[in-house]
Amino acid sequence: MNNTPLAPVTVIGLGLMGQALAGAFLKAGHPTTVWNRTSSKADRLVAAGARRAPTVGDALAAGPLTILCLTDYDAVYGLLGPDEIDLTGTTLINLTSGSSGQAREAAEWAARRGAHYLDGAIMAIPSGIGTADAVILHSGPQQVFEAHEPTLAALGTVTHLGADHGLASLYDVAGLAMMWSVLNAWLQGTALLRTAGVDAATYAPFARQIAAGVADWLPGYAEQIDKGAFPAEVSALETDARAMEHLIEESEAVGVNTELPQLIKAMAERAIAAGHGGEQYPVLIEEFGKPHTG
């Protein structure tokens, strides 16, 4: 029987997500110290066995690993920036949402303060934390991640993306792009079908099947993008553009908003004008890779 005590962890920032993180560590048996500017937000966690730190400095001193889950990066600097806050030898794992540039700047700031630093992104809602469905992304030095991976595993499925501190944030926004794009496409289809009396619940299983089928195309399309070659194995872009026109015409005919299909078609038309009409849909990566000039 292994009686080795579990590593202590500190959680700073007790909004809904921060409370979920601390709760998962407690449930897994880790001695957990918590701190929040509004102290009462720690009450439920303290009742469950957490230790309430009286100050940020005391919270950091409670153990070698501190999880940050704050409003933004300015809040991180505001709390940990004062000279009297000693970060030497501390490992900070920042799960605060921000940009890849902010993550890289924070890593440099932490290094100057003598701290080890990982940036992270939470791909889950608070109720999912502590389950395998909660995906927690980390980026930064591999050895720092490996040193604390057993502790971090209490939060869900933890993944290390690479040494670039900005990768977790980039994966986060890339995931949001996928999420909103899928939802917007479903809403467009739902709006169309509602004009014929089909409710959203009836359409949802069909839409889910379509989404799953399209997801199966991604590995092959990714190979084309990485090779920079887009043979029309399934359909040429110019054929897709004609179908896009049908979607626009149908939306107009039944009085449904056409902004989304118009945007998609505009990008396809630019690619076709550039000579890519006979290539496959992933050739649009060239359009997505350009800055917006409109």
- pTM listed for this prediction: 0.91
Closest CA to 95 of 24, 39, 28, 12: 12
Between CA 168 and CA 121 the distance in angstroms is 6
Token duo for residue 189: 């289809």
The 3 state secondary structure assigned to the chain is: CCCCCCCCEEEECCCHHHHHHHHHHHHHCCCEEEECCCHHHHHHHHHCCCEECCCHHHHHHCCCEEEECCCCHHHHHHHHCCCCCCCCCCEEEECCCCCHHHHHHHHHHHHHCCCEEEEEEEECCHHHCCCCCCEEEEECCHHHHHHHHHHHHHHCEEEECCCCCCHHHHHHHHHHHHHHHHHHHHHHHHHHHHCCCCCHHHHHHHHHHHHHHHHHHHHHHHHHHHHCCCCCCCCCHHHHHHHHHHHHHHHHHHCCCCHHHHHHHHHHHHHHHHHHCCCCHHHHHHHHCCCCCC
Residue 1: band (very low, low, confident or very high) from pLDDT cuts 50, 70, 90: very low
Please, which residues bridge with residue 135 across strands? Answer: 123, 157
Task: Report CA 293 to chain centroid distance, whole Å.
Answer: 27
* Residue 116 predicted with pLDDT over 70: yes
The predicted-structure confidence for 168-206, as pLDDT tens digits, reads as follows 999 999 999 999 999 999 999 999 999 999 999 999 999
Residue with tokens 């590593």: 7
The predicted-structure confidence for 143-165, as pLDDT tens digits, reads as follows 999 999 999 999 999 999 999 99
Closest CA to 152 of 136, 165, 164, 166: 136
The predicted-structure confidence for 264-276, as pLDDT tens digits, reads as follows 999 999 999 999 9
* Residue 45 predicted with pLDDT over 50: yes
The reported pLDDT for the residue numbered 82 is: 84
